Structure 1
Amino acid sequence: MYNTQKPDLADLPTDSRLLRSTAIAVGLAATLLVTVVLPAEYAVDPTGIGRLLGLTEMGTVKMAIAREADQEAAAKATPAASAPVMTAQVAPSRAAAAVPAPVQAIAPAEQAPAAKAEEMTLTLAPGQGVEIKAKMRKGASVTYVWVTDGPKLNFDTHGDGTGISYHGYGKGSESRSEGVLTAAFDGSHGWFWRNRAGKPVTVTLKVTGDFDGLKRLV
């Protein structure tokens, strides 16, 4: 049998110390939640710190991937109903091209005040997702076309900006898409692709209009 010495009461933390330590721990946890977890996981950045650290952009990509997975599951469940809607939003069919589109949505490339052209080619491994975006001011327009070397890619055309984590322009599953993208607000606007073809797929994107360069984010 061993004799144990009772601790001195003076060595034990007081109630006030315990409460203070608990309050500090709760405060740190709340700070990390707001500045790190929410921006990185959900693209929610109430303080703006997440955007400075690049966490909000990470959260935006995660949310886009999640939405793309949901869209793919829905497309498998109801392929006939979902495909026409997704195609009509971004890549107008030949029949729809005969109907005049609203001026706000489609603006002739000739009217762009600072037209430029840029092209990027990427190869996606099976299951890989990539994202390309361009900085655009509100109302600026670009004419784009992207095409794969054969297989279809799941795509999500969207944008994000200050206080806006996601704004969708269209999504679907195609091997080619073209049209005019008009920025709904100042921020980053572009395309996300996911390769579900089971083999490498090469996609080439060409953009012409009023934008501040293409950038690969993922």
Structure 2
Amino acid sequence: MYNTDLPNRAELPTSRQLLRSTAIAVVTAAGILVTMVLPSEYGIDPTGAGTVLGLTEMGEIKAQLAAEAEADRQGSETVVPATPVDPERRSSLLGTMLAQFLIGSASAQTAPAATRSDETAVVLRPSQGLEVKLRMRKDARATYSWTSTGPVNFDLHGEPPNPPRNFSHSYKNGRGASGDQGDVVAAFDGTHGWFWRNRSGQDVTVTLRTSGAYEAITRP
């Protein structure tokens, strides 16, 4: 039987080398967070790089669609414009996002949901917005496809239970679309799904087909 040779002490990395590697990883992660993740996901651009790369506009669109969805959940038909994040909240958000980006968020280990399939149709009046959500556990996957009889704006997003105010994790969004398909993998336990708004001058019907490991589907 062959026994693997153990490395001698001289071959092992020193504490200084380990600290240096850790510091490089932290700085790199922080740079990616402030130059790419925050502008593209939240429209927050502390360095200005997001504007140059065209990512800030993407984040602003996501924030606008999330605000519209929040307005509809509160029973309002008024489109709520995205508001700038004040410096104190931005600092807090940067710290929270950096911590999540570096170490991830803890999640309870539970049995996966059984696979199911559904077909859901919703009718949207002109300027009306509606959403359909899947209740999913972290890392669960669902396949989807939807079609619309007219152009709609959409935002595929997720929210954990009891989320902070105005929190929404966006997976994908678009404007003037007549359909979309793909997979959604839950980033955390919670609800994950679609918000559509009819920007045409007539009623449109959105038909959604889903299949995967989700526990329930909710709609208006």
The structure with the largest alpha-carbon Rg is 1
Could you tell me the TM-score, scaled by structure 1's length? Answer: 0.48
Could you tell me the TM-score, scaled by structure 2's length? Answer: 0.48
